[in-house]
Structure 1
Amino acid sequence: MSQSFTANPNLHFEDWKLISLQLEIKKKSLDAFLVPKVDIYRGETLADCDERLAWLTGFTGTAGLLAVSLGKAVLFVDGRYALEARTTLPDVFEVCSFANKEIVKWLTENLPDGGQVGYCGLFHSVSDVKYLKNKLKKVGITLVSTDNLVDDIWKEKPPPPFSEIYYYPEELAGETHQNKRLRISSEIKSSGASALLITNPGSIGWLLNIRGNDIPYTPIVHALAILYSNENIDLFVDLGKLPRNQNLETDRGIRVIPHKDFEKTLGEVEETILIDPDTTPQRYHEILRNSCEVKLHTDPCLAARAHKNTTQIKHCKDVQTRDAVAFVEFLSWFFSHPRQTDLTEIDLSLKLWEFRQKQPGIKSPSFETIVGSGPNGAIVHYRVKENTNRRLKNGDLILIDSGAQYIEGTTDLTRTICIGTPTRKQQMDFTIVLKGLISVSEAKWEIGSSGKFIDNFARIPMMDVGEDYGHGTGHGVGQFLEVHEGPYRLSKKSTKSIHDNIILSLEPGLYREGEYGIRIENLALTSNVSNAKNDKQQYCFETLTFVPIDLAMILPEKLTRDEINWLNRYHDETYSRLYPLLSTGAQAWLMKACQPL
């Protein structure tokens, strides 16, 4: 599956949509209604039928919350999408920072005393509802569960996705589905419960070693599950998605129940059940607590699947090399192109995919490829479409953030390159970002250190010169699953401690609005390292991505000797890994690209 560059004609703003929603709000005697960018599975990538926020506003980023009152509308977005939202949304929408305190502040300032805010419990987690209810109650505003008001006015919704389930080979997963169920069931027992509700399709795919194609770029099947402490499991899925030549019930001991019967079955649960408050829709919590005891507990599958076993690590390393070969072939093609300024952002995206398609095991991109040239690079998660496609110009910086789904694993890497000779300002900014990448790549931390602590390693070299970036430094990466995998991440807010055998991205950046963006991203594996000074257990990063970093963009005099040594070692390793696997032309380019400073 390749990437589409045509804007979805259904996902754009029209006055009547907002007006119709405001009429529905008034009919329900509400003062406002919340529309989050999620589905019932709370994934980043949505099926067309779940793109409610995009249908209302035209905003197609992967995270956001729309608050609509009787007279106003505001979109809350995080730092990745702030510039995009400000520059592309119609003036009818305010744009604010996506933080709970900002949401509460806006509602407090824009609703009357005693106001009522409606929400649909299918699209807000237990944690989100609890927080908003408590905060709004203090200012005299009530959060009210109501119907899905957007679907009431969206009369021509696309149908739900439909793809056949297929088995993920155990020789790639490194563990049988039976053993995974045994491990998670043991945790259910130790938590004093008899069952676990799983609403995350990635967790279900990992647990049962199954995959699907219900959404672009992420091989999951839209399903829900209840795992019991005796290792039995109920899978709620559209029966038309069952494999035609295999039987989940006889092959895997899975009881299959039609997806449409999920809420009915949920209401019949009598055992003590665990639910994850951060991923479970509030509506499911309300159904369960009417029939059984509910315990709030983080989905144990999240941490289990983030910790990769030796088989997974081997395969993930293999696909990083394959993907690096494709990317270097692409860079060689680009830098040898006689007329670079005849090319467009879409041309580059298509050519990169062409090289990736030559690699064994390739299935699809792992997300929409970001090719942001010039000012488009400053839009952190810019996604080129035919109506935004920009022709390259001399002096442009080009930010290319892309990845792929191979049957053995998932990739994600970013490089920033220049057409022609970069300015000293561009080189200075690039060198600052490189220093951040080197700093976090060389980080060591003790047991219990949080993602927030490690995130600082990337930011300190930048903050020393008064710079920073508005997104996290890193996210987890799955194995032929989500390219953004929880629960571990590196950010200013991440309190979860980082252990060994987790694959994380390391991606500091710097963005000059209206000029350019710079980001350098490698994937890395957390590993054990001994501390000779005090014998305390420590962790470090093992770099997995080996693609040259543009030497023309670097000011060597701004690097320390240790940083230069790191870069030279990195390029030595890149050369030795990739050279035998490349075409003759790409070999010649790689030799120049990996010259020591």
Structure 2
Amino acid sequence: MFQTFTVTADPSHGPARLAALRVLMAEQGLDAVLVPRSDRHQGEYVAPGDERLAWLTGFTGSAGFCAVTAQEAGVFIDGRYRVQVRSQVAPDFTPVNWPETKLSDWLLERLASGHRIGFDPWLHTMDEIATLHATLEPKGLGLVPIENPIDRLWTDRPPPPAAPFTAYPENLAGETHASKRARLAAQLREAGERACVLTLPDSIAWLLNIRGADVACNPVPHAYAVLHEDGTCDLYCQPGKADAILGHLSDGVRVHPETSFVPGLDFLPSPTRLDPKSCPEAIHAFLTTRGITVARGSDPCLLPKARKTAQEIAATTEAHLRDGAAMANFLAWLDREAPTGNLTEIAVVQALEGFRRATNALRDISFDTICGAGAHGAIVHYRVTEATNAPVTLGNLLLVDSGGQYLDGTTDITRTVTVGDPPEGAAQAYTRVLQGMIAISRARFPKGVAGQHLDALARYPLWLAGQDYDHGTGHGVGVFLSVHEGPQRLSRLSDVPLEPGMILSNEPGYYREGAWGIRIENLILVEEAPPLPGGDDRAMLAFHTLTWVPLDRRLIQTDLLSRDERAWIDAYHSGVLDRIGPRVEGETLAWLQAACTPL
């Protein structure tokens, strides 16, 4: 199996490791140290040897950081992890709600003028350090770049990943890497810039039409790259990793050992672009001390990568239909087996991966399946282990959030189902969550609208009932790339205008801690909206659904629905039957026909 169920972090180790870190701090004259989850490439997902935050604290979430002083260690987590963190860290660590509590404010309350804060400049972006400098230095607090102290203490740290890179087929990408390089180089020249440093793994993968296996569940390469104004590119990676793709890369891409990256920065021209949101502060500091002019600008790959080509859209559409059939087989099986009382969360995860593997096209799962029975469903990013494995029991909800990595696409889908009669209040909450998902699915909006303008549509039905959820409504998704892809999002924080070709998740939820959780998720594609009779002569956009899997009709309280919402559900289920029906047979087809019956 791709997924394992071993316990990957133990809170009991935290106190001794924290004490050892404080000894190092005292030796170096530091009053605080920052321990982020990020790695030197600043991608969202990290390799085992970069899980420094989990090693120190026991917290395994995909976002967060720790700030350690001589008296306190704050673990900063957002709304997705506020239940999870309490079960993963020892009492020596204090969970801190973030971003409501800013790191600078937390430090200012605990430190005094003259105190020194150590940070690894490779693990923090330019923007992060600039923000801290602006708020801390006027108060007399100094930020001190240091060698990573966790790396000194972590004696059995896993080695860096060494998987070879592979070429991504041009017929699926829709554009050669030479064309991409030339297109982006023209943008650099237009901006008066002579080069750009790239560190994000998925940007490098997209630009060069390559894939890797350096991070679990995400087919990205660990590498650095420099794109030059003439369209050539320098790729820096561990020796041997690019050997199999040298013919694919051609003369326009020069491959160097990773150890040559920092020395190579010395020869960059002025001005060189760095993205302050993703470039490590270490690179910025190096160029600045060498007198190389830094141009601050966004990673040039981000928006072109987000705007999928026609070939990528066609490919991922097929991947979603294939995955939809696997999900139908799974849900039909689950409906038969769950009422017996013989299933556990692990058994459910294993079965689902088995149905995806049966397609003979699965390359990996796109993230560890979140399978939460009952109260575990309220832990937004719950990961079942052998220690937490719970039974699937009657009278409870089961939340399953999962996805597959196929060569032609990346999927991400959540379905919440009831096992037997739903618990009190669950059907009403499920229906409100569904209403929010429908509102996003049906949305039409002018060009220039960003995710922050649409996020409230998904929450409005819950708000009317005095309810809400503490995560964004949707994230970007790649094509055989990262399941979380920027810059597009459906979130109060996202000011990036949505554009045709962007893929997003649509996943409102509601969580009752200690009882159950609900989330419903489809992937949607931004496309041009056809004009409406009587409408203005204004360019509009809309969403096209990519995910076709039945909703649990047993949890839909129809008297809460409007006529348009009922019509949308019936039309959606009709579309599921039309698209997925020909791909399944036997018991699954019979189940699908029943599940797609009109309301």
TM-score by length of 2: 0.97
Deviations 1:519-552 (CA, angstroms, capped at 9, x unpaired): 0000000011144421100111011101000000
The aligned residue for residue 236 of structure 1 is: 236
Q: Distance in 1 between matches of 2:419 and 2:500?
A: 39
Report the Cα offset of residue 267 of structure 1.
Answer: 2.2
Aligned-pair CA distance for 1:112: 2.8
8 Å Cα contact 1:78-1:97 kept in structure 2: yes
Q: Is the 8 A contact 2:9 2:59 kept in 1?
A: no
Instruction: For 1:446-465, list aligned pairs within 5 A.
Output: 446-465=446-465
Match of 1:258? 257
Aligned to 2:77: 77
Percent identity reads: 40
Instruction: Provide the aligned length of Structure 1 versus Structure 2.
Output: 596
Superposed, which structure 2 residues align to 1:113-128 within 5 Å? 113-128=113-128
CA contact (8 A) 2:339 2:419 kept: no
Aligned to 1:184: 184
Match of 2:102, SS?
A: helix
Runs of 4+ deviating beyond 6 Å? 9-12
Distance across 2 between alignment mates of 1:269 and 1:579:
56
User: SS at the partner of 1:193?
Assistant: coil
Choose which of 529, 532, 543 in structure 2 pairs with 1:541. Answer: 543
Q: Hey, what's the Cα distance between the residues in 2 that align with 1:145 and 1:510?
A: 41
SS in 1 for 2:79: coil
The letter for the 1-side match of 2:153 is: I
Residues 424 and 399 (structure 1), Cα distance of their counterparts in 2 relative to 1, 3 Å cut: same
Tell me how far 1:585 sits from its aligned partner.
0.6
Specify the alignment match of 2:561 in structure 1: 559
| Aligned counterpart, 1:132 | 132
- The 8 Å contact of residues 338 and 393 in structure 2, kept in 1 or not, is answered as no
Letter in 2 for 1:423: P
Is the 8 Å Cα contact of residues 436 and 460 (structure 1) preserved in structure 2? Answer: yes
Residues 16-75 of structure 1 show CA distances to partners (whole Å, capped at 9, x for unaligned) of 211111111111211100001110111222111111111101111100110000111010
Deviations 1:181-204 (A, max 9, x none): 011111111111110100011011
Q: 1:11 offset after TM fit, Å?
A: 8.6
Tell me: CA distance 1:445–1:487, structure 2 relative to 1, closer, same or farther (3 Å). Answer: same
CA separation in 2, counterparts of 1:140 and 1:583? 70
Note closer, same or farther for the CA distance 1:530–1:61 as it changes in structure 2 (3 Å cut).
Answer: same
Task: Look up the match of 2:215.
Answer: 215
1:100 offset after TM fit, Å? 7.5
Mapped to 2, the partners of 1:467 and 1:457 lie a distance apart of: 14
Q: Which residue of 2 aligns with 1:226?
A: 226
Partners of 1:121 and 1:282 within 8 A in 2: yes
Question: Partners of 1:42 and 1:13 in 2: how far apart?
Answer: 26
Equivalent residue number for residue 34 of structure 1: 34
Aligned pairs for 1:15-54 (under 5 A) are 15-54=15-54
The residue aligned with 1:388 is 388
In structure 1, distance between residues paired with 2:591 and 2:284: 57
Q: Which residue does 2:570 correspond to in 1? A: 568
Distance 2:100 2:191 in 1: 30
Corresponding letter in the other structure for 2:587: G
Partner of 1:66: 66
The alpha-carbon distance between structure 1 residues 9 and 474, as it changes in their structure 2 partners (threshold 3 A), is closer
Q: Secondary structure at the match of 1:222?
A: coil
Q: For the residues of structure 2 that align with 1:251 and 1:230, how far apart are their CA atoms?
A: 15
Q: Which residue of 2 aligns with 1:313?
A: 313
* One-letter amino acid matched to 1:393: T
Q: Give me the whole-angstrom Cα distance separating, in 1, the residues matched to 2:208 and 2:67.
A: 38
Residues 211 and 249 (structure 1), Cα distance of their counterparts in 2 relative to 1, 3 Å cut: closer
Give 5+ residue unaligned stretches, structure 2. Answer: none
The CA distance in 2 between the partners of 1:17 and 1:248, in whole Å, is 47
Q: Could you say what secondary structure the match of 1:96 adopts?
A: strand
Matches within 5 A, 1:91-490: 91-99=91-99, 101-244=101-244, 246-248=245-247, 251=250, 253-291=252-290, 292-337=292-337, 340-490=340-490
Contact 1:369 1:403 in 2 (8 A): yes
Residue identity in the other structure for 2:233:
I
Inter-partner Cα distance in structure 1 for 2:440 and 2:109: 41
**SS of alignment partner, residue 264 of structure 1:** helix
For the residue of structure 1 that corresponds to 2:432, the secondary structure is helix
Aligned-partner Cα distance in 2 for 1:250–1:93: 47
- TM-score using structure 1 length: 0.97
State the distance in 2 between where 1:521 and 1:424 align. Answer: 22
Q: Within 1, Cα distance between the matches of 2:85 and 2:568? A: 38
